[in-house]
């Protein structure tokens, strides 16, 4: 929300005196004015390239002088006014244009001025609410100077304010028109009703509709549609339907595609998507057919509910029925696909959009950039930034926020910090979210000094403070065991008037619990609850304390915490009961665990897979494996599927007891129930074969002692129980690489590939990571190329490690080939455009440059925020 101070600064300039605009420069470039005047009197002068260069730096006063020379031709003067406002660096801002208009008033060029003001209003009032307010302020100033605002100006202003949904401003303009003695026409009333309805002021709009009828005008489809829109804006679909039905009656004004679309949109907004689709089917009865806007509204509605496939079907339907999707339609689909993680499909839609000649806007680019960044594909994200710059599609602050968050996700907050320089160079201003992203990024990497410095910077800027940055630092301090500092920061935060939210309190209580300072955690909770400034949305805070008490075997205090939870009207969750069950299991008191298990079922809290897994583990710890298996069968009967942890716990227990046969039978059940065994599962079984009846705390020991006979026996048994060759190879190769038995791992890789298998991306990543640590860069490159051949992409972090390895060894030519290969396989089409960003991304973090950027921002923070 824009603060009142900022709004005032943006909408009302310091009160001008007319003398401010009557100062004549000591010298004027008469040559430029004369040449320009000659050129604009020729036919098709707008296409003259020399004219563009002459006017590129023309000042407002020079423009006014040129208009004065040609004042006999009003039409030409207005055309030139529009031209210079778009081509002069001094005149294309609103303030620059206002200066021209004031110069025209000084020179008494009123015939030109009246038409120029209308052109100015039309041009500048349709971009944003801020611009609209600025234009309204200018019109007020002109009236104060005694300039008579004409009817065309007022009428144009009403139309623009309607487009910007500025109902209150439109009403104030209406009052000025009446005060100035103008009689409004039907079109003016239409615009006023529309503006009020768009702002949700439907009752006020109805008053003007009554006035329209009283004057003698008919209520047409435009006014009726505006009222439908007004009711939809306030969520009153019932009254919207009532107006809609009146319009459809025989003596009504009729409905059109826009009316249907407005009501369909209103239904979607209140969650009545099925009714919206029914209404779409009724359009044909009234002689209407769904427009591009109609389909776009429905596509957005289904995308918002996660039904992107249905949205794609709608896209096909609209194309078949002759409604061409526009940039907005494609943007919604791209955003929906990205939210579902279907990045390649989103990219395909984007490429189709460009191929079809549609121009992606900043919102389109941002949606796809966000999708790439969330999946760590920063190279593709920066390719889109390069594409934006090449297409003159100006990145906004959200674009850079998405990129910065993407860099922080892959552990590169220093790179994100350097983007601040680009933001400032592009005339943008970092917002609070920008700094929150950076604070979070540095805290994830343990760089608390930078986090605190950024927090101090945010506090010095004109931002309304929020909890996010403080909570992030408190969380990091708590996890690092620096609890006194975390508590001090919490106190400082509250002293500044920022109330901690549930996340903040959870972070510090979690820190105290993890560091066995439970009394402090309870004190924080009690203090917070007594202040009544915190609204608890769930039992998570209580669960942390119950877990801490259970681990300390203080079950009386754990039950007391449940009582406190109920007193605060918070219902115990499945996590609450499972935590208590686990506590009793850890003490070997399986009977008390079962009592809690039965209690949770009586309280209609259904046990989940973690609850059952905790109990299975409890039985395994007490050696009652038969009961654990019975519980496993109970899980099946209850419709709860065991997960990999459940099965692995049982397998480990049987291995420890020396019963390998039963361990492999559990593996068989696991595979049969389509639960993928993991590295730990296979390691436990292999340990049973290699290290008789002895399960170690690390899986690498078994690989150091592993012999070929063990491998043969393990593979035979695992295959007998349903495990596939690919999974077995992947497990063995990963283990051998981790244990440093590279040659044997390589041999197994060759054998695996001869049989037509290839390790998955996770296995490949483990192998590449190990090879990089061993500085075996050639082997690592070979692995990366194998991955490329099979359509797999190594993580960007691994790729950067490899690049830095090549840089240290001075292998520049091979490095260029490597960067080219990676860009190609990442789907980068504009390699030249992204090459600069590739260098930026892969080079080491420039810490010194980051501090320089921070100093620049700190200096800027002492200045007034620029009006862009």
The per-residue pLDDT for range 392-412, each reduced to its tens digit, is: 788 999 999 999 999 999 889
pLDDT value for 432: 87
pLDDT of residue 770 exceeding 60, the answer is yes
CB-count burial class (<10 Å; 0-12, 13-18, 19+) for 490: buried
For residue 539, the 8-state DSSP code is S
The predicted model gives 25-48 an average pLDDT of: 77
pLDDT of residue 183 exceeding 50, the answer is yes
pLDDT band at 77 (very low <50, low <70, confident <90, very high): very high
Task: Name the 3-class secondary structure at 3.
Answer: coil
Q: How far is CA 355 from CA 78, 163, 351, 352, 867, in A?
A: 38, 30, 6, 5, 37
pLDDT band at 610 (very low <50, low <70, confident <90, very high): very high
pLDDT in tens, 348-400: 999 989 888 898 999 999 999 999 999 888 988 998 999 888 887 889 999 99
pLDDT of residue 833 exceeding 60, the answer is yes
CB-count burial class (<10 Å; 0-12, 13-18, 19+) for 240: buried
Q: Where are the alpha helices (DSSP H) in 180-307?
A: 186-198, 202-215, 221-233, 237-248, 257-269, 273-282, 292-304
Any idea where the domains of the chain sit in the sequence? 1-149
Mapped to the 3 state alphabet, what secondary structure does 568-632 carry? CCCCCCHHHHHHHHHHHHHCCCHHHHHHHHHHHHHCCCCCCHHHHHHHHHHHHHCCCHHHHHHHH
pLDDT band at 273 (very low <50, low <70, confident <90, very high): very high
Among 1-5, 165-169, 839-843, the range of highest mean pLDDT: 165-169
pLDDT band at 462 (very low <50, low <70, confident <90, very high): low
pLDDT value for 244: 93
pLDDT of residue 6 exceeding 50, the answer is no
pLDDT band at 93 (very low <50, low <70, confident <90, very high): confident
Placement of tokens 């202003």 in the chain: 157
The predicted model gives 790-819 an average pLDDT of: 83
State both tokens at 509. Answer: 């209580």
Task: Name the 3-class secondary structure at 290.
Answer: coil
pLDDT of residue 10 exceeding 50, the answer is no
Comparison of pLDDT for 842 and 10, the residue scoring more = 842
Asked if 15 and 48 touch (Cβ cutoff 8 Å), the reply is no
Indicate if the alpha-carbon torsion angle 195, 197, 203, 206 is positive or negative: positive
Task: Name the 3-class secondary structure at 776.
Answer: coil
The whole model's pTM is what?
Answer: 0.77
Average pLDDT, the chain: 86
Comparison of pLDDT for 32 and 665, the residue scoring more = 665
Sequence-distant (≥ 6) Cβ neighbours of residue 826 within 8 angstroms: 377, 379, 380, 793
pLDDT value for 845: 65
pLDDT in tens, 196-243: 999 999 999 999 999 889 888 888 999 999 999 999 999 999 999 999
pLDDT in tens, 694-727: 444 455 678 888 888 888 889 999 999 999 999 9
């Amino acid at each position: 929300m824009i603060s009142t101070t900022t709004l005032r600064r943006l909408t009302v300039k310091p009160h001008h005196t007319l003398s401010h605009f009557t100062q004549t420069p000591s010298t004027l470039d008469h040559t430029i004015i004369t040449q320009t005047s000659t050129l604009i009197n020729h036919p098709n002068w707008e296409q003259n390239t020399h004219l563009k260069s002459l006017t590129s730096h023309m000042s407002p006063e020079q423009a006014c002088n040129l208009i004065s020379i040609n004042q006999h031709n009003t039409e030409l003067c207005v055309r030139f006014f529009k031209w210079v406002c778009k081509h002069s660096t001094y005149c294309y801002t609103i303030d620059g244009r206002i200066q021209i208009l004031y110069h025209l008033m000084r020179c008494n060029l009123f015939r030109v001025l009246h038409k120029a003001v209308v052109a100015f209003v039309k041009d500048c009032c349709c971009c944003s609410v801020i611009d609209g307010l600025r234009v309204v302020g200018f019109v007020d100033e002109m009236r104060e100077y005694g300039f008579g605002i004409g009817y065309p100006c007022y009428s144009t202003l009403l139309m623009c304010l309607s487009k910007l949904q500025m109902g209150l401003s439109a009403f104030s303009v209406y009052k000025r028109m009446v005060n100035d003695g103008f009689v409004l026409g039907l079109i003016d009333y239409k615009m006023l009703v529309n503006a009020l309805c768009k702002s949700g002021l439907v009752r006020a709009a109805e008053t003007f509709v009554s006035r329209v009828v009283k004057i003698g005008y008919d209520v047409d489809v435009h006014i009726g549609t505006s009222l439908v829109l007004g009711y939809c804006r306030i969520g009153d679909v019932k009254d919207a339907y009532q107006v809609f039905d009146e319009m459809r009656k025989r003596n009504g004004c009729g409905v059109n595609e826009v009316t249907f679309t407005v009501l369909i949109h209103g239904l979607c907004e209140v969650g009545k998507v099925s009714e919206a689709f029914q209404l779409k089917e009724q359009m044909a009865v009234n002689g209407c057919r769904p427009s591009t806007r109609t389909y776009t509204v429905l596509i957005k509605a289904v995308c918002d509910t996660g039904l992107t496939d249905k949205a794609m079907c709608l896209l096909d339907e609209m194309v078949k029925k002759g409604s061409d999707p526009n940039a907005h339609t494609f943007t919604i689909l791209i955003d929906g696909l990205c939210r579902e993680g279907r990045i390649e499909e989103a990219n395909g839609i984007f490429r189709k959009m460009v191929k079809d000649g549609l121009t992606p806007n900043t919102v389109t680019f941002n949606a796809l950039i966000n999708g790439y960044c969330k999946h760590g594909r920063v190279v593709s994200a920066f390719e889109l930034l390069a594409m934006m710059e090449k297409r003159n599609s100006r990145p906004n602050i959200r674009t850079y926020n998405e990129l910065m968050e993407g860099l922080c996700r892959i552990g590169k907050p220093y790179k994100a910090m350097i983007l601040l320089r680009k933001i400032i160079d592009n005339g943008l201003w970092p917002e609070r979210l920008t700094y929150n992203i950076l604070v979070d990024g540095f805290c994830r990497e343990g760089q608390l000094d930078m986090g605190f410095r950024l927090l101090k910077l945010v506090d010095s800027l004109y931002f309304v403070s929020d909890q996010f940055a403080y909570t992030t630092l408190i969380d990091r301090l708590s996890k690092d065991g620096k609890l006194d500092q975390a508590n001090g920061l919490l106190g400082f935060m509250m002293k500044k008037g920022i109330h901690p939210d549930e996340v903040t309190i959870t972070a510090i209580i979690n820190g105290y619990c993890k560091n066995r300072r439970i009394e402090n955690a309870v004190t924080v909770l009690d203090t917070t609850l007594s202040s009544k400034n915190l609204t608890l949305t769930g039992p998570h805070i209580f669960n942390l304390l119950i877990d801490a008490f259970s681990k300390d075997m203080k079950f009386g205090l754990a039950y007391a915490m449940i009582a406190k939870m109920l007193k605060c009207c918070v219902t115990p969750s499945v996590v609450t009961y499972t935590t208590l069950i686990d506590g009793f299991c850890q003490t070997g008191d399986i009977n008390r665990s079962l009592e809690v298990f039965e209690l949770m079922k009586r309280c209609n809290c259904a046990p989940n897979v973690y609850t059952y897994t905790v109990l299975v583990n409890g039985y395994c710890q007490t050696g009652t494996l038969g009961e654990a298996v019975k519980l496993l069968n109970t899980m099946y009967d209850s419709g709860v599927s065991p997960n990999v942890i459940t099965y692995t716990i049982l397998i480990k227990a049987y291995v420890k007891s020396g019963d390998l046969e039963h361990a492999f039978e559990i593996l068989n059940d696991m595979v049969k129930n389509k639960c993928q065994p993991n590295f730990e599962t296979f390691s436990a079984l292999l340990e049973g074969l290699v290290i008789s009846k002895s399960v170690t705390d690390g899986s690498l020991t078994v690989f150091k002692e592993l012999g070929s006979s063990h491998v043969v026996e393990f593979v035979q048994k695992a295959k007998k129980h349903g495990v596939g060759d690919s999974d077995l190879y992947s497990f063995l190769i990963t283990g051998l690489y981790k244990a440093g038995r590279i040659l044997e791992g390589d041999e197994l890789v060759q054998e695996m590939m001869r049989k037509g298998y290839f390790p998955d991306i996770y296995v490949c990543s483990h192998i590449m990571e190990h090879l990089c640590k061993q500085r075996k860069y050639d082997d690592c490159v070979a692995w990366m190329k194998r991955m490329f051949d099979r359509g797999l992409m190594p993580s960007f972090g691994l790729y950067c490690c490899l690049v830095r390895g090549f840089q240290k060894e001075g292998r520049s030519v091979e490095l260029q080939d490597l960067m080219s290969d990676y860009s190609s396989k990442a789907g980068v089409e504009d390699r030249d455009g992204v090459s600069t960003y590739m260098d930026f991304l892969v080079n080491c973090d420039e810490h010194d440059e980051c501090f320089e950027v921070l100093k620049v921002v700190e200096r800027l923070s002492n200045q007034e925020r620029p009006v862009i």
